[in-house]
Amino acid sequence: MAQLDEAAFSDFYGSHARALWAYVYRVTGHGADADDIAQEAFLRLLRAGPDTGDVEQRRRFLYRVASNLIIDRWRRTTRHEEAGALPGSPATAPREPDDDVARTFATLSARDRALLWLAYVEGESHEEIAAALGVGTRSIKVMLFRARRRLRDLLHARGLSRT
């Protein structure tokens, strides 16, 4: 990685930390997990980030690392629950969102939340989403369609949609 001096890292962190944390929080539903994952993503950026001074490439790397950490945490949690942990224990119980739409969004799978967040909040292109989530670019359009449909159906079932 093109070595970041303290001022360059501080600028990069200041520009991207809040958005990264919000992304991780919306996908995981846990503030503490968002804190841990965002911190680990920035640490990995410092240790092994891209060998370029390109801010956009660093940002994509950061989101890719965070997405991988989210998936790893989800897999560990799933294995832990399958091994006999009590459902709803503090380690696995999501924090209740403040409103009905956010609560509905939180019921989607982590992948659907990540897809929708990256596409519609972060404004990422299909190529950028594919890179962040480690899937093929051509599958993103179908995955987004299905994620939107699942969210629409959940909102409709809860009486929160206009149609």
Is 60 exceeded by the pLDDT of residue 31?
yes
pLDDT in tens, 111-149: 898 889 888 888 889 998 888 888 899 999 999 999 999
CATH 1.10.10 fits 1-95, yes or no: no
Q: What is the predicted pLDDT for the residue at 41? A: 93
* Helix (H/G/I), strand (E/B), else coil: 101: helix
**Contacts of residue 70, Cβ cutoff 8 Å, sequence gap at least 6:** 24, 27, 28, 37, 110, 114
Residue extents of the structural domains in the chain: 1-95, 96-163
pLDDT in tens, 43-100: 998 888 776 778 888 888 899 899 888 888 877 766 655 565 544 444 444 444 447 7
Long-range contacts from 41-45, C-beta under 8 angstroms, 24+ separation:
41/65, 41/66, 41/69, 42/13, 42/17, 45/1
- Residues 108 and 123 sit within 8 Å (Cβ to Cβ): no
**Contacts of residue 43, Cβ cutoff 8 Å, sequence gap at least 6:** none
Q: What is the predicted pLDDT for the residue at 91? A: 44
Q: Structure pTM?
A: 0.62
For 96-163, give the CATH class: mainly alpha
